[in-house]
Amino acid sequence: MDKKRHNGARAGIKPTPARGRRRRATPRRALPGHALLKKLRPVYPRPGRTGYRRWIPSWRQTLGLFGTVAGTLTALVAIMYARTEIPADLNAFATQQDNVYYWADGSEMARTGPVDRQEAALDKIPEKVRWAALAAENETFYSDSGVSPSGMMRAVTRMVSGGDRQGGSTITQQYVKNAYLNQEQTFTRKLTEMFIAIKLDNKMSKSDILQGYLNTSWYGRGSYGIQRAAHAYYGKDVSQLDVSEGALLASLLKGAALYDPAVSAKNHERAVERWNWILDRMVTIGKLSAKERATYTKFPEPKAPPKPAGLDGQTGYLVDTARAYVSAHTDVSDADFDLGGYQIRTTFEKPRVESLAKAVADVRQGLEPGTRDADKNVRIGAASVSTEGRILALYGGPGYLKQGFNDANSTVVPAGTAFGPFVYAAALRDGIQRERGGPRTPVTPATVYNGDDKVAVRTPEGPYWDRSGKIVKAVNDGNKSWGKIPLKEAVAQSVNSPIMQLGMDVGLERVRRAAVQTGLLAESMGTQVPAFSLGTSTPSPIRMAGAYATFAAKGMHSEPYSVDKLSRNGDAVAVEKPTPARALPAGVAASVDDALREAVRRGTGTAAKAAGTDAAGKTGTGPGNKSAWFAGYRGTTSTAVSLFRIDPTSQELLPLDGVGGAAKSATGSTYPIDIWTRYMGKPGN
């Protein structure tokens, strides 16, 4: 009987008490703490349960565990809250410094700053301008407790998931971050921000918090505080702003780098959209009448960004280039950088910059814009890049304060026939394919092509027809026919017909890939039609110099960079620098190099021989004679020079016919090669 009962218990059957016996009631008594925890702790599998129920804790155990965890967290939060104090001092705006830029040799180049900030009393800020900021950032500001639990949860979720880090904070929290903490996004910093915000909300009036927030927020353009932002964007005192202008400034609080409409077309689109949303939101919350809102239909375009004093000549272009590199290749935010204290060691070499500017100035003396229409609106951009990627010098225009746009970084000028070496490199590397689906045939410098004028461009299926129904034909400079010509000679002499057909035989996508791998930007590539091989792409002089440096470096490519070291108050800040990578086989690069040297020895670039016997390079004339180039190198230094004319009203390129007094029938311009030769021929360059 005992054995049977035992086996039944093992099978999960509850044994029946013996008849005539009564269970003794066990007296209840308090359990000590460790015994209670032991009782609450789940025991698996649970006795007296069958199937999956054996592994599910009881409601008492679940409730006990939840209570323990909740109690522990509550205690931790209470301790952290008690220990968090409002800092005695604000972030010391008084200690803000200039950012100092240095030449490559360590000598000082320029200073920017100090931070542009000026206090404004709250009653000096129009009420509707204040409400524009509140509608954009925290419409419940006057009724909340200084924190937004739901907003905090969203912010933490975004931090954990790696999503957008904007939003999630009340104005009180944002003021705490601006005035007492820093801009880093960590869970600990968020908790500290929340605790200080709660205490600050109990200590300060809402008006004082709002005033502090508006005076410490970053609005871009180096401006901290709404007073200086009013001057930076509209050239007026904050008291003179209307609600429409206030809505634009409120848009900047979400991220000035994304909403300053002067930065880019995409920024402008975002700014207009958010400006409209803020004005509509003000109507929704009852702070702007629908009638007044209807009067604001025209976007309040801000004035152009101010140009810092002391950056005239080429210095401003250099500073802008280095500043853009810091923004793109470090973890330093624009807002933090504007607080100052950074030391930026650039790659620019002062003697080279001065030498390049002088070479341009000397050659420009041949232009007579006052008496010759063809010489009006002529622009020149130039850059020198080492084979390691260091940007050694650039020429961005006649002077930063006179022309803020940097022509050394311009991406509107077609490369023209200076693009030919990339077609040649792709052919040498990938071979050609003249039959659809057929094998690819190797190409050598001695491979012969038809160099006659107006040769029909062919595809594997036959002649290439354009959209107008005409067969596309390649036109050589001066309508000269060269007969059968080796590819090396075609590159050296800038013969269009073989280069255009070569691009079709290689495959335009392969040509594009080779150009990008050697250093040109993918977004600057032209449409893939036969003319693509003749340089419809629009690289900047910086990128063109960097790509030609790949040929000089035996096929190794390093991305151009302008910042060598970065520090803040003596402490090093990590800055990403490029790593050289193999772009072309060494043999291919050597063949391209040989063709570029041939171009200088007895081709279209013979004028560059004056720079030295080791000069290699290529002239370039753009489609429609709307650009002229010379790109080439000596030793480890590659330099590219572009020349173009642009209509100041339409921003369209104009033909170079007659520039510098040249014959109307002449194509291109001798100015780029003259500048290149004067500069590269100087000892030390």
Query: Partners of 556 in the beta sheet?
Result: 582
Is the separation of the CB atoms in 251 and 262 below 8 Å?
A: no
Is the separation of the CB atoms in 147 and 194 below 8 Å?
A: yes
Q: What is the mean pLDDT of residues 505-521?
A: 98
Q: How far apart are CA 529 and CA 466, in angstroms?
A: 9
Q: How far apart are CA 93 and CA 225, in angstroms?
A: 11
Q: How far apart are CA 408 and CA 269, in angstroms?
A: 27
Does residue 569 sit within a domain? no
pLDDT at 20: 45
pLDDT at 15: 45
**pLDDT tier at 182, thresholds 50, 70, 90:** low
**pLDDT tier at 189, thresholds 50, 70, 90:** low
b/e per residue 320-334 (b: at least 16 CB within 10 A):
bbbbebbeebbebeb
Over residues 403-437, the pLDDT tens digits come to 989 999 999 999 999 999 999 999 999 999 998 88
Task: Inform me whether the pLDDT recorded for 355 exceeds 80.
Answer: yes
Q: Please classify residue 434 by burial: count the beta carbons closer than 10 Å to its beta carbon, then call 0-12 exposed, 13-18 middle and 19+ buried.
A: middle
Does residue 28 sit within a domain? no
Is the separation of the CB atoms in 512 and 503 below 8 Å?
A: no
Choice between 368 and 79, residue whose per-residue pLDDT is larger: 368
Residues 134 and 185 in one domain: yes
Does residue 185 sit within a domain? yes
Q: How far apart are CA 165 and CA 586, in angstroms?
A: 46
Half-sphere exposure of 682 (CA within 13 A, CB side): 15
Q: How far apart are CA 45 and CA 54, in angstroms?
A: 5
pLDDT at 675: 98
Residues 137 and 220 in one domain: yes
Q: Per the structure, how many domains does the chain have?
A: 3
Residues 281 and 231 in one domain: yes
Q: What is the CATH number of the domain that holds 148?
A: 1.10.3810.10
Residues 77 and 118 in one domain: no
Q: Provide the token pair at 220.
A: 């871009």
Choice between 191 and 568, residue whose per-residue pLDDT is larger: 568
pLDDT at 7: 44
Residues 49 and 155 in one domain: no
Q: How far apart are CA 673 and CA 642, in angstroms?
A: 9
Q: What is the mean pLDDT of residues 11-29?
A: 45
Task: Inform me whether the pLDDT recorded for 57 exceeds 50.
Answer: yes
Choice between 208 and 600, residue whose per-residue pLDDT is larger: 600
Residues 75 and 141 in one domain: no
Task: Inform me whether the pLDDT recorded for 159 exceeds 60.
Answer: no
Residues 125 and 256 in one domain: yes
Does residue 403 sit within a domain? no
pLDDT at 68: 65
- Sign of the CA dihedral with 81 first, then 82, 83, and 87 last: positive
Residues 59 and 151 in one domain: no
Share of the chain above pLDDT 70, in %: 80
- Domain membership of residue 160 as a residue range: 114-293
pLDDT at 185: 52
Does residue 106 sit within a domain? no
Residues 163 and 288 in one domain: yes
pLDDT at 19: 44
Q: Provide the token pair at 364.
A: 């420009």
pLDDT at 103: 97
Q: How far apart are CA 346 and CA 387, in angstroms?
A: 16
Identify the residue whose tokens are 């005539």: 20
Choice between 599 and 157, residue whose per-residue pLDDT is larger: 599
Does residue 74 sit within a domain? yes
The pLDDT mean for the chain works out to: 86
Residues 138 and 236 in one domain: yes
Q: What is the mean pLDDT of residues 560-589?
A: 95
Task: Inform me whether the pLDDT recorded for 532 exceeds 80.
Answer: yes
**pLDDT tier at 72, thresholds 50, 70, 90:** low
pLDDT at 659: 95
**pLDDT tier at 25, thresholds 50, 70, 90:** very low
Over residues 256-295, the pLDDT tens digits come to 989 999 999 999 999 999 999 999 999 999 999 999 999 9
pLDDT at 71: 64
Residues 196 and 151 in one domain: yes
pLDDT at 624: 93
Range picked from 64-78, 135-149, 452-466 for highest mean pLDDT: 452-466
pLDDT at 338: 85
Over residues 440-498, the pLDDT tens digits come to 999 999 999 999 999 999 998 899 999 888 999 999 999 999 999 999 999 999 999 99
Residues 72 and 127 in one domain: no
**Of the candidates 478, 507, 534, which is a domain's last residue?**
534
pLDDT at 438: 86
Is the separation of the CB atoms in 568 and 343 below 8 Å?
A: yes
Does residue 451 sit within a domain? yes
pLDDT at 459: 93
**Of the candidates 485, 501, 534, which is a domain's last residue?**
534
- Sign of the CA dihedral with 501 first, then 504, 506, and 508 last: positive
pLDDT at 419: 98
pLDDT at 331: 94
Range picked from 174-183, 382-391, 567-576 for highest mean pLDDT: 382-391
Does residue 438 sit within a domain? yes
Q: What is the mean pLDDT of residues 68-90?
A: 56
From the list 117, 281, 144, 115, the residue with the least C-alpha distance to 210 is 144
Q: What is the mean pLDDT of residues 176-197?
A: 66
pLDDT at 3: 44
Q: What is the mean pLDDT of residues 207-217?
A: 90
**pLDDT tier at 76, thresholds 50, 70, 90:** low
pLDDT at 23: 47
Q: Please classify residue 652 by burial: count the beta carbons closer than 10 Å to its beta carbon, then call 0-12 exposed, 13-18 middle and 19+ buried.
A: exposed
DSSP string for 436-450: TT-PPBP--TT-EEE
**Of the candidates 242, 271, 293, which is a domain's last residue?**
293
Q: How many CB atoms lie within 10 A of CB 36?
A: 12
